[in-house]
Structure 1
């Protein structure tokens, strides 16, 4: 019984942290286009192993992958932007990356609330 209580407390604590990291990623995303997402990213890396054995670990990995893929596509857009022909295409890439990242943050929050693991 006590061991189950410790696991439930650890799981809830881990879930709360993942929730707040989604919020911080979202705030950074909305107000700085993700420029400050490296702060919650570091916490995702540090705390991911603490969530091993729970569905919450997949949420840390989901946030980490979301960050790196978003950065990749924003960089691709930046490289396109510096070419003469690529500016309209750059805006398209940036817009699609923004929508994709917003989807991943919202999907992650909803699934975390429903106690669902994220796909690997």
Structure 2
């Protein structure tokens, strides 16, 4: 069990990490690394409390977002390479496939962006209400 002072400190700490995730949207994601490092640094201080769910929630949100965003980016990169080949080979079918694959990659990246923002907002609201996140 954690003391009241430690709990208040960890609540403030979590508010800061949630804020940094939101601010990272305005830095093209360059600030993403700061809150994840902060979460790993303090995660064990919250063991056994409802605050531990917030550290885990933010860590999972970060890693799943990275994985899905990378999948989307790889699909786009692969598709744009295929588009280049189709132009060189004058192949309309390959170009259509590349455009569809690019669209899929963009869809995955858009979904990831919205999902990430949703999780940050949902977690921050739960923290403000002094509730754990699932």
- Report the TM-score when normalising by structure 1: 0.88
Q: Map 1:56-75 onto structure 2 (within 5 A).
A: 56-75=51-70
Shift in Å, 1:104: 0.2
After superposition, the C-alpha distances for 1:76-107 in whole angstroms (9 at most, x for unaligned) are 00111012322111110111000000100000
Secondary structure in 2 aligned to 1:60?
helix
What residue number does 2:17 align with? 21
Shift in Å, 1:53: 2.1
Unaligned runs of 5+ in 2: 80-97
- Report the TM-score when normalising by structure 2: 0.80
The alignment's C-alpha RMSD in Å is 1.6
Of 104, 111, 115, which aligns to 1:96? 111
Partner Cα separation in structure 1 for residue 18 and residue 108 of structure 2: 23
* Larger Rg computed on CA atoms: 2
Runs of 4+ more than 3 Å apart:
none
* Structure 1 position 11 matched with structure 2 position 26: no
Unaligned runs of 5+ in 1: 1-5
Partner Cα separation in structure 2 for residue 61 and residue 12 of structure 1: 18
* Structure 1 position 109 matched with structure 2 position 124: yes
Partner Cα separation in structure 2 for residue 63 and residue 46 of structure 1: 13
